[in-house]
Chain A
Amino acid sequence: MAILVNASTRVLVQGVTGYQGEFHTRRMLEFGTAVVAGVTPGKGGAEVAGVPVFDTVAEAVAATGANAACIFVPARAAKDAALEAIASRLDPVVIITEHIPVHDAIVVVAAARAAGVRVVGPNGPGVTSPGQCKIGIMPNHLFSPGPVGLVSRSGTLTYEIVAGLTAAGLGQSTALGLGGDPVVGLTFQEAIALFAADPQTQAIVMVGEIGGGAEEEAARYVGASVRKPVVGYIAGVTAPPGKRMGHAGAVISGTEGTAQAKKAAMAAAGITVVDLPSQVAAAVRRAL
């Protein structure tokens, strides 16, 4: 099983002929992902790593049966690319691109909701279901298949925790990064609901950070509706208010979005909250 992406996912890469697009298309193929098409307007007929390139998403889908998208298109063209993927009902649409204007993200997320497809990102590392499919930029070698579902707002911190799980013999059903921007598509709550319904997933790890209230919202949901064990970690305990900590969305505004408030809400919902990334694996082991 796993969530969002699995062995039957057929990936279309938008921005496939760019430096990042080509590099990560090769890594996805090495992972075993079925990357079936690439799209770069004006470069139809070319090939990247053996993957055929098309001018439009619609013709790529018609020719290859692609059913999910991975977007590496630069920020100023990313809204258009995402809307093109959504118009072809690709699901999920995984947006790796960083620095997309927030007003563009609002339109993309609303269009996805109206079309009934899921957007993951922007500004995230993607989605990986070990042994089945990887969409995005997570390093291939970290993963092993297993019972742990992991959802996070960041990239490298996700890798750190996945590596810790794998080293402890705890494989993953799916690991995904929601993205570091203030407005993103898939939320913690939605990802946790998918894990809760996934038979492969037996424990859920949520890795949050300062800014916004998505972790608190997810915690309320976990407390009310999730029976599987959940382990949580929040980064940014030492972050000062009003400063953006690398991610556009990682900023404490007034009293909203502090790590302390998030940890308290999670603990109150019965989530096992740990203080260090290395403590995640042991907490998951105990919960299983």
Chain B
Amino acid sequence: MKLHEFQAKEIFARYGIPVQRGAVIERPEEIDRLEVPYPVVLKAQVLVGGRGKAGGIKLAADPAEARAKAAQILGMDIKGERVRRLLVVQAADIGVEYYLAFTVDRAARRLVCVASAAGGIDIEDVARTAPEKIVKFHVDPFAGFQPFQARGIAKQLGFGGKALLQFAAIASALARLCTEMDAELAEINPLAASAGDGTLLAIDAKLVIDDNATFRHDGLPRNEELTELEAAARAADLSYVELDGDVAIIGNGAGLVMSTLDMIAHFGGRPANFLDVGGGATTENMAQAMEIVLRKPGVRALFINIFGGITRCDDIARAIAARPPKVPMVVRLTGTNEAEGRAILEAAKIHAYVEPEPAAQEAVRLARA
């Protein structure tokens, strides 16, 4: 789960990382009662990246300008996400911009610290164009990230004196935050050294919390980037991703469903969604799955691809037979309790394929008809 900048900054502040808390507003009029010194920066609070380029961050010299610019940004659409809140902070005095993050390195299967003196821009661009400007350090899972290691990284970035100590303290705090908060990513970009005395300040804050670990963190905000159908699917414990085609897909198992989408594309069709009913899906789960995928406008065919393992074909067949869809449907059914499942479908005059590919071809044909 991604946190908004203002939410992440609250947590950063708890760990002693220097941030400007500023104020969060939802209406331009609220500018008048803020006590933030001018000039200020207005920052759109959205979960998608690239808000600066999209015009979601603006500088204002006085309250009148701030109100006008707040009115521009609030309600703006940034990559499909509507701006509902602004963070207002005092414009910082920025000299050098650094990058600092802790994240999970899948290949190394450890936390990795990524730091660079070329901050302020997309770190993936730096990694591509100037990999030598990036320092990477893997964290020992048992001992944790140590202060001397933080000082070593500071040294590699060119810090000295008081700034070296401040950077090391921030890096140590961010490492502790990342572990204790179950973060997949804890990122400061930019971490700015002031043009005056070089004091460090986290200008932005990005925090992504592991969805599987929210049970041990009370009081986390609930941020949803889900479409309406994705939210309905999550409430029903189904894994659903909306796509832009016209062949609705239901299958069991993430790998099988991904492969089903690919099959539809391979035969010239366009999948409307990814939906995994999961292992051991019941008749009820399957009925909810059908209801959700068919709610998407523009669906012209439904393809159901079930390989019964823990999931039983008869449970699936009962849901299909109980409420056959209005759009053309193709069913592929094999595995556990296949004979029982086929009997249920045959009684409802529904044909079921054994092999997935002829079934996928038929689904594509029906969507085009």
Q: Would you call A237 and B262 a contact (CB within 8 A)?
A: yes
Q: Which residue of A lies closest to B358 (CB)?
A: A278
Whether B301 sits at the interface, judged by CB under 8 Å, is no
Chain B neighbourhood of A180, CB < 8 A: 254-255
Question: Max chain A CB contacts within 10 Å: which of B252, B259, B266, B356?
Answer: B259
Whether A270 sits at the interface, judged by CB under 8 Å, is no
Q: Would you call A240 and B243 a contact (CB within 8 A)?
A: yes
Q: Would you call A213 and B261 a contact (CB within 8 A)?
A: no
Q: Would you call B255 and A209 a contact (CB within 8 A)?
A: yes
Q: Would you call B107 and A217 a contact (CB within 8 A)?
A: yes
In B280-326, which residues have CB < 8 Å from any A CB?
Answer: 307-310
Chain B neighbourhood of A42, CB < 8 A: none
In A120-151, which residues have CB < 8 Å from any B CB?
Answer: 125, 137-139
Whether B239 sits at the interface, judged by CB under 8 Å, is yes
Whether A236 sits at the interface, judged by CB under 8 Å, is yes
Interface-forming stretch among B18-26, B59-67, B207-215?
B207-215
Q: Would you call A235 and B110 a contact (CB within 8 A)?
A: no
Q: Would you call A250 and B258 a contact (CB within 8 A)?
A: yes
Q: Would you call B255 and A207 a contact (CB within 8 A)?
A: yes
With contact pairs A106-B141, A139-B309, A214-B107 given, residues A278 and B258 touching in the complex (Cβ less than 8 Å): no
Q: Which residue of B lies closest to A275 (CB)?
A: B266
Whether A21 sits at the interface, judged by CB under 8 Å, is no
Interface-forming stretch among B69-77, B164-172, B271-279?
B271-279
Whether B357 sits at the interface, judged by CB under 8 Å, is yes
Q: Which residue of B lies closest to A255 (CB)?
A: B124
Whether B263 sits at the interface, judged by CB under 8 Å, is yes
In A235-288, which residues have CB < 8 Å from any B CB?
Answer: 235-240, 243-250, 254-255, 259, 275-278
Q: Which residue of B lies closest to A216 (CB)?
A: B107
A152 to B252, CA, bound (A): 16
Whether B216 sits at the interface, judged by CB under 8 Å, is yes
Q: Would you call A137 and B309 a contact (CB within 8 A)?
A: yes
The size of the chain B interface, using a CB distance under 8 A, is 50
Whether B134 sits at the interface, judged by CB under 8 Å, is no
Whether B106 sits at the interface, judged by CB under 8 Å, is yes
Chain A neighbourhood of B308, CB < 8 A: 139
Interface-forming stretch among A30-38, A153-161, A197-205?
A153-161
B-facing mask of A199-234, CB < 8 A → 1, else 0?
000000001011111100100000000000000010
A-B contact count (CB 8 A): 158
Chain B neighbourhood of A153, CB < 8 A: 255
Whether A168 sits at the interface, judged by CB under 8 Å, is no
Q: Would you call A155 and B258 a contact (CB within 8 A)?
A: no
Q: Which residue of A lies closest to B308 (CB)?
A: A139
Other-chain contact of B212, A239, A243, A248 (Cβ < 8 Å): A248
Q: Would you call B107 and A243 a contact (CB within 8 A)?
A: no
Whether A43 sits at the interface, judged by CB under 8 Å, is no
Q: Would you call A158 and B212 a contact (CB within 8 A)?
A: no
Q: Would you call A278 and B355 a contact (CB within 8 A)?
A: yes
Other-chain contact of A276, B212, B216, B357 (Cβ < 8 Å): B357
The size of the chain A interface, using a CB distance under 8 A, is 61
Q: Would you call A246 and B309 a contact (CB within 8 A)?
A: no
Interface-forming stretch among A1-9, A54-62, A86-94, A95-103?
A95-103
Whether B33 sits at the interface, judged by CB under 8 Å, is no
Other-chain contact of B106, A157, A236, A249 (Cβ < 8 Å): A249
With contact pairs A235-B262, A240-B243, A246-B239 given, residues A110 and B141 touching in the complex (Cβ less than 8 Å): yes
Q: Which residue of B lies closest to A125 (CB)?
A: B309
Chain A neighbourhood of B307, CB < 8 A: 156, 159-160, 163
Minimum C-beta distance from A164 to chain B (A):
9
Q: Would you call A156 and B104 a contact (CB within 8 A)?
A: no
Q: Would you call A154 and B107 a contact (CB within 8 A)?
A: no
Chain A neighbourhood of B336, CB < 8 A: 139
Minimum C-beta distance from B214 to chain A (A):
9
Other-chain contact of A278, B239, B310, B356 (Cβ < 8 Å): B356
With contact pairs A75-B212, A101-B182, A235-B262 given, residues A106 and B256 touching in the complex (Cβ less than 8 Å): no
Q: Would you call A212 and B255 a contact (CB within 8 A)?
A: no
A184 to B106, CA, bound (A): 8
Chain B neighbourhood of A249, CB < 8 A: 106
Q: Would you call A245 and B182 a contact (CB within 8 A)?
A: no
Chain B neighbourhood of A106, CB < 8 A: 104, 109-111, 141
Q: Would you call B259 and A235 a contact (CB within 8 A)?
A: yes
Question: Max chain B CB contacts within 10 Å: which of A106, A209, A247?
Answer: A106
With contact pairs A239-B261, A278-B357 given, residues A109 and B109 touching in the complex (Cβ less than 8 Å): yes
Other-chain contact of B253, A76, A157, A254 (Cβ < 8 Å): A157
Whether B179 sits at the interface, judged by CB under 8 Å, is yes
Chain B neighbourhood of A237, CB < 8 A: 262, 265
Q: Would you call A101 and B254 a contact (CB within 8 A)?
A: no
Whether A107 sits at the interface, judged by CB under 8 Å, is yes
Q: Would you call A238 and B335 a contact (CB within 8 A)?
A: no
Q: Would you call B106 and A239 a contact (CB within 8 A)?
A: no
Q: Would you call A235 and B255 a contact (CB within 8 A)?
A: yes
Whether A44 sits at the interface, judged by CB under 8 Å, is no
Q: Would you call A250 and B261 a contact (CB within 8 A)?
A: no
Question: Max chain A CB contacts within 10 Å: which of B184, B239, B253, B258?
Answer: B258
A5 to B179, CA, bound (A): 34
Other-chain contact of B210, A103, A245, A247 (Cβ < 8 Å): A103
Chain A neighbourhood of B264, CB < 8 A: 238
Given contacts A137-B309, A156-B255, A246-B274, 4 further A-B contacts (CB under 8 A): A75-B212, A159-B309, A160-B259, A233-B259
Could you list 16 examples of A-B contacts with CB < 8 Å? Answer: A102-B104, A102-B212, A107-B142, A139-B336, A155-B255, A156-B256, A160-B259, A163-B307, A183-B106, A238-B243, A238-B258, A238-B262, A259-B262, A275-B266, A276-B263, A276-B266
Please name the 4 residue pairs, one residue from A and one from B, whose CB atoms are nearest each other, closest first.
Answer: A154-B255, A156-B253, A246-B254, A157-B255
